[in-house]
Structures are given as C-alpha cells and as structure tokens.
Amino acid sequence: MRELKERILKDGQALNEAVLKVDSFINHQVDPNLMENIGKTFADKFADDGVTKVVTIESSGIAPSVFTAKAMNVKLVILKKSTSKILEDNISQTEVASYTKGTEYQLTLNKKYINRNDRVLIIDDFLARGEAAQGAIRLIEAQGAEVVGVGILIEKAFQSGNKALRDKGYTVCSLARIKNLSDGHIEFLED
C-alpha cells in the first residue's frame, strides 16, 4: 500500500536492524485517516471471502481493525494478552512467546464472540515470527471457525512469520513488506 510505505519512509525510524519505530502514527499516536484507508484496503482485498468477523490482538492492532470491521460491516473481536491463566468456562487461552519483546503471555478469547459459522479475518500491526498470529489462529480454529486470511500492516520479511503462515496454508496480505533495516535505512520488498 503506497500510502503506508510513504508514511513509513517519512516518519518511521529503523531503530536497529530488527526493529522499526512507528510510534508517531501506529503505536503511541494513531493517524485515523491512515487507519481508515488501511481498513478500506483490507476490506477490498478480502471482499470475496465472506468474512463475518475481524479479530485482532490488543493493543496496536485495534485501530486498523476497527476501520477494517467498519468497512466490512462486521464486528471486531479483540484478543487480550493476559499474564495469567483464567479458569472460566467462556474463556479460551493459548500461550504466545514474543521474540521481539522477550515476553510470554496468555492470548485470551472470550468464546462467546466466535462460533463455528464464523469466517475470520485476522488483522495485526506487525508480523515478525508470526507467533501472535498463530496463537490467534489456534484460538479461532478451536471454536470451529475458519480463518480466511491474515492482514498485516508491516511485515518484517526478513523474519519467518510470513513463511510460517503460508506453509500452513494461510493467506497473508501485508501492506508493507520490509526487506532490510540495516544502517538506519528502510528498504521494502517489491510487490
């Protein structure tokens, strides 16, 4: 998506060879106009897939997901990151390890909001190793629902997430694919 790539080049910062800072328009401050256009773009790309729910992971996935769900006229379900196991009938959890942040958490779904008839589009801000997306897929499929695709704002294509998801048969749509972040330069993979 050209608008997102241009914004990354203008306001993003390659913190080191592995981390891209996008605080001013995605993580700490959100640009709603950009998020609205991202939502419309995902809605167009997945228009023929019969999506019934958008699912995201708190917190930075929420803004683009709200606009995606609005553009598709479906509800948004938010997966929470819990530090502990919750023993309740309506809760489903799976452990996710974050390589980038060196943390582990229980990705948590309120089962009331996903059922076996749902066709789910997962949206998240970053794709690194794909651990969060795969955790989301485990929770959604455990409900008997189908994951029709994974929409990502920024994919770090030098990490393994895209391959891991595609190898398992999932459609991945990344709006900006970063090839390289070394020496402070941001280089994209061509579409």
> Residues in the site for ligand G4P, rule: CB under 6 A?
19-22, 27, 57, 59-61, 98-101, 125-132, 156, 161
Taking the complex as a whole, the smallest distance from the CB of residue 115 to ligand G4P amounts, in Å, to: 25
77: Cβ contacts below 8 Å, ≥ 6 apart: 53, 54, 55, 56, 109, 110, 113, 114
CB-nearer residue toward ligand G4P: 5 or 129: 129
CB-nearer residue toward ligand G4P: 99 or 188: 99
Q: How would DSSP label each residue in 59-80?
A: TTTHHHHHHHHHHHT-EEEEEE
CB-nearer residue toward ligand G4P: 44 or 95: 95
CB-nearer residue toward ligand G4P: 100 or 180: 100
Spatial CA neighbour of 91 closest among 115, 66, 109, 69: 109
CB-nearer residue toward ligand G4P: 52 or 162: 162
Taking the complex as a whole, the smallest distance from the CB of residue 47 to ligand G4P amounts, in Å, to: 26
CB-nearer residue toward ligand G4P: 51 or 127: 127
Helix (H) or strand (E) holding 172: strand 172-180
Separation of alpha carbons 108 and 95, rounded Å: 9
Taking the complex as a whole, the smallest distance from the CB of residue 57 to ligand G4P amounts, in Å, to: 6
What are residue 124's phi and psi, to 5 degrees? -150, 160
Taking the complex as a whole, the smallest distance from the CB of residue 63 to ligand G4P amounts, in Å, to: 10
Taking the complex as a whole, the smallest distance from the CB of residue 171 to ligand G4P amounts, in Å, to: 16
Buried-state track 74-113, b at ≥16 Cβ within 10 A, e below 16: bebbbbbbeeeeeeeeebbbbebeeeeeeeebbbbbeeee
Taking the complex as a whole, the smallest distance from the CB of residue 138 to ligand G4P amounts, in Å, to: 13
Q: What is the C-alpha end-to-end distance of the chain, expressed in Å?
A: 9
